[in-house]
Chains A and B, each alone.
Chain A
């Protein structure tokens, strides 16, 4: 079942608080936390920073973000075997990612993409959508 589209207005509503939390969690300047900033590529986030960020978003927005949900949601209805082969994202998987991560600039979806590199696509706006989905699920 596809989700109800997330509007730009919904993203704009949560962006200032998400950006502040990203800035606090990653220890970077708020002005660097742009909507399309890749947390790993542009803001040097490591796995401990993602853990920190998710916990801070949960507390800041009063939502639950289940562990592993972000990557699982990115894969969506595709079973893992159809999403990746030998660690590389399939064509079907890439199509799914482009659709789900619609906020990520198109030129960042480079092929071949390792499944392990999918988090490199995540931007501040990606996490705005994570929060909105969690708010809807509450």
Chain B
């Protein structure tokens, strides 16, 4: 079965859409299936996709946004299997060049994630998917909704050649899977497979957690969680099969939190950068 509109789609239904002008609110929801790996960063992906639906509809599906910039993503709660994400995005501006938006995710009435000042550059739709197919999916989401439970999880990142300097930095190689090994490529995107920026950020978060956990004074702090990912900038697309060099560098660390500067590079060219803030789970 094709992975299109199932293997990396995180909006089941659109319940509110402000039309007219270039701004407004869009709301929807997504049911996290049971028994699949659903990393927390996919909550941010869900909000981004919700905002994308508003932007794409406004331009009659001639363009679609891709991941670009995010000022900050605040994590308040981790999603659990079987929960429903209530999604909300406020579009500040949207045109053929970019969509600027902020958004939130609620789980059982409580704020789980807040995305502040995100910008997605817009590119021609037909490079990524058939405009008429995307339009039809949009009408499904506005109507009865897509069937829940379509998402089958994502593989854990394949990290190699870890080089750890406790208290300083951790470098690793991320082997981006080939299309055949990762169904999400069929949905992201059908005509041009691109490694999702949120999965790249997830891998960088994992490395950050590992470094901080082995750095004084957080070595005995118990489990750590990602509290904030900020100044995210995705500079270029990552194709399937790419070998990415990841590096996370500690900026400062104390008993309450660790702050890191993180980057992904391919052939000496910077692909993405961000800042990550971690805290002991007991603090979160």
A107 to B234: give the CA distance in the assembly, Å.
34
Judged by a CB distance under 8 angstroms, whether A79 is at the interface is no
Within 8 A of A (CB), among B217-247: 233-235
A48 touching B117, Cβ below 8 Å: no
Within 8 A of B (CB), among A80-105: none
- Known A27-B273, A46-B235; contact A51-B117, beta-carbon cutoff 8 A: no
Partner of A52, one of B69, B95, B96, B97: B69
A51 touching B95, Cβ below 8 Å: no
Number of interface residues of B (CB under 8 A): 14
Cβ of B96 to closest chain A Cβ, rounded Å? 8
Residues of B within 8 A of A47 (CB): 121
A55 touching B235, Cβ below 8 Å: no
A59 to B71: give the CA distance in the assembly, Å.
12
Cβ of B193 to closest chain A Cβ, rounded Å? 20
Interface of B is mostly: strand
Judged by a CB distance under 8 angstroms, whether B100 is at the interface is yes
Judged by a CB distance under 8 angstroms, whether B182 is at the interface is no
A59 touching B117, Cβ below 8 Å: yes
Within 8 A of A (CB), among B113-130: 117, 119, 121
Partner of B117, one of A27, A55, A67, A68: A55
Judged by a CB distance under 8 angstroms, whether B179 is at the interface is no
Which of the listed residues A46, A48, A67 has the most CB atoms from chain B within 10 Å of its own CB? A48
Cβ of A61 to closest chain B Cβ, rounded Å? 15
B273 touching A55, Cβ below 8 Å: no
- Known A46-B235, A48-B233, A48-B235; contact A55-B119, beta-carbon cutoff 8 A: yes
A68 to B122: give the CA distance in the assembly, Å.
13
Judged by a CB distance under 8 angstroms, whether B153 is at the interface is no
Q: Which residue of B lies closest to A26 (CB)?
A: B233
Residues of B within 8 A of A59 (CB): 117
Cβ of A101 to closest chain B Cβ, rounded Å? 22
Cβ of A46 to closest chain B Cβ, rounded Å? 6
B121 touching A51, Cβ below 8 Å: yes
Residues of A within 8 A of B121 (CB): 47-48, 51
Cβ of A53 to closest chain B Cβ, rounded Å? 10
Residues of B within 8 A of A51 (CB): 68-69, 97-98, 119, 121
Within 8 A of A (CB), among B41-96: 68-69, 95-96
Within 8 A of B (CB), among A46-67: 46-49, 51-52, 55, 59, 67
Partner of B68, one of A48, A67, A68: A48
A48 touching B273, Cβ below 8 Å: no
Residues of B within 8 A of A46 (CB): 235
A52 to B273: give the CA distance in the assembly, Å.
13
A12 to B117: give the CA distance in the assembly, Å.
29
Q: Which residue of B lies closest to A66 (CB)?
A: B95
Residues of A within 8 A of B95 (CB): 67
A52 to B97: give the CA distance in the assembly, Å.
12
Residues of B within 8 A of A52 (CB): 69, 119, 233
A131 to B135: give the CA distance in the assembly, Å.
38
Q: Which residue of B lies closest to A46 (CB)?
A: B235
Q: Which residues of A contact B (CB under 8 A)?
A: 27, 46-49, 51-52, 55, 59, 67-68
Apart from A48-B68, A48-B121, 20 more pairs, CB < 8 Å: A47-B121, A48-B69, A48-B233, A48-B234, A48-B235, A51-B68, A51-B69, A51-B97, A51-B119, A51-B121, A52-B69, A52-B119, A55-B69, A55-B100, A55-B119, A59-B117, A67-B95, A67-B97, A67-B98, A68-B97
Q: Which residues of B contact A (CB under 8 A)?
A: 68-69, 95-98, 100, 117, 119, 121, 233-235, 273
**Could you show 20 A-B contacts with beta carbons less than 8 Å apart?**
A27-B273, A46-B235, A47-B121, A48-B68, A48-B69, A48-B233, A48-B234, A48-B235, A51-B68, A51-B69, A51-B97, A51-B119, A51-B121, A52-B233, A55-B69, A55-B117, A55-B119, A59-B117, A67-B97, A68-B97
